[in-house]
A and B are shown apart, each in its own frame.
Chain A
Amino acid sequence: MADFAALLTEQIPRLRRYARALVGTQGADDLVQDSLERAWSRRHLWTGQGELRPWLFTILHHLYVNQVRHRVHAPPLDPLPDEEPPALAPSRHEAALEWRDMERALAELSVDHREVLLLVGLEQLDYAEVATVLNVPPGTVMSRLARARAALRRALQEPPRARLRRVK
């Protein structure tokens, strides 16, 4: 089915952006790849009507939640190098600091909060679509969204505990 393939391919950049924000650099493309493969195996469940994107986000959401659940039993092997973080070109240094702050703050959110915040704030799905993707009532989307934004704002305002040294 060339059409389905073309439609899926079209969605890759959006899926990658969401996955990158959701899980960080490592593992994001794997999650997208799993989602695309799952989309093919579940193709009969897509009616062919409406937007493909929320349906793909739903698939990605299920895969991610399963991953996280699995991790409770088997903590991720994710040893970051215990050396200095990679040196960055000086011109990019400032941006890198902000990136880390947002990344850290996002990572501190619960999965529920991170998902709703990104689907609304970054992916700009409407609330009803988010409710479908996350399979929760619309009221839950709104209350989670309020809590998630409050939590992220708090985290970003907190004095960072281990701020990277600024190199002059």
Chain B
Amino acid sequence: MNPDLIQENDLQSYVDGRLDPARQAAVEAYLAENPAERQRLLDYQRIDAELHRLFDPVLDEPIPAALRLAAQHRSRAPRIGLLQTAAAVGFMLIGGGLGWFAHERFSQPGLAQESFVQQALGAHAVYVSEVRHPVEVEASEAQHLVAWLSKRLGATIQAPTLSTLGFQLLGGRLLPDDGKPAAQFMYQDAGGRRLTLYVRRGLDNPRDTAFQFSQQDGKSAFYWVDRDLAYALIGDLERPVLDRAAHVVYQQLNP
């Protein structure tokens, strides 16, 4: 076969190993005389190898519960992890990430919120260090967990999906907070870093707030109040990571 008749399509097929032996030999002959072309095709193969190196690990990740449910055609797995945090979301819409930071300057948390955050930080500190019993009910029983905590709190709550950030739901537990029930969901990433979402009902003086940020002993917390539910997202994480987690929650609210 005349190597001069080699077309770009042949070269692409060569990269993908989809040539028949005769054509393959012809391409190899052509490449032997065209080092630049040879290098180009080598680069293409290297790109494919790099794609596999980068993205193949996704194949081994645990499958998020929401996707498993969707595949089984079970009642649409809720994206809305955190109920309608409409007020908070509205604020984010206006200012994006920056809006939250600016907002901190003029929105001083009330005492009730201060105490709420302390409780949430305390619960975080106690349970994230648990190796064997970090949660009361494990993520494998996620539906039961959410239903149970909703019942105990007297409000419909959800466990958001944070798998896009590499955090998988470990499970959750019921906690006392100032004589009232509170819920904690715990997440963990592949590096063992943990994140908790703490939810409580009935602050003394409920008023919706935008996201507020607090940092203590290396732990970062975003917290906000929506109607009669207060939320705190806490992690021993850098603020931008937590910021992204909150952002993911926002995306779940607005698919």
Contact = CB atoms under 8 A, between A and B. Distances in A.
Interface of A: 1, 5, 8-9, 12-14, 16-17, 20-21, 25-30, 32-34, 36-37, 40, 77, 79-87, 89, 98-99, 102, 118, 120-122, 124, 126-127, 142, 145-146, 149, 152-153, 156
Contacts of B15: 149
Given A33-B70, A146-B8, 4 more contacts: A17-B55, A37-B70, A142-B9, A145-B12
Given A29-B64, A156-B47, A12 B71 contact: yes
29 contacts: A8-B71, A9-B68, A12-B67, A12-B68, A13-B63, A17-B56, A17-B58, A21-B51, A27-B164, A27-B251, A30-B79, A30-B251, A34-B255, A77-B92, A77-B254, A79-B96, A79-B97, A79-B247, A81-B239, A81-B244, A82-B98, A83-B239, A86-B238, A86-B241, A98-B50, A98-B54, A118-B51, A126-B18, A153-B47
Majority SS of interface residues in chain B? helix
A152 B164 CA distance: 25
B158 to A, nearest CB: 15
Interface in B168-213: 191
Contact of B76 (A13, A16, A37, A156): A37
A156 B58 CA distance: 22
B240 A84 contact: yes
A20 B71 contact: no
Interface string B130-161: 00000000000000000000000000000001
A20 B98 CA distance: 26
B32 interface: no
B244 A29 contact: no
A32 B70 CA distance: 9
B105 interface: no
Interface in B56-102: 56, 58-61, 63-64, 66-68, 70-73, 76-77, 79, 92-93, 96-98
B163 interface: yes
Given A14-B59, A21-B51, A86-B241, A29 B66 contact: yes
B58 A13 contact: yes
Contacts of A122: 48, 51-52, 55
B114 interface: no
A40 B240 contact: no
A32 B55 contact: no
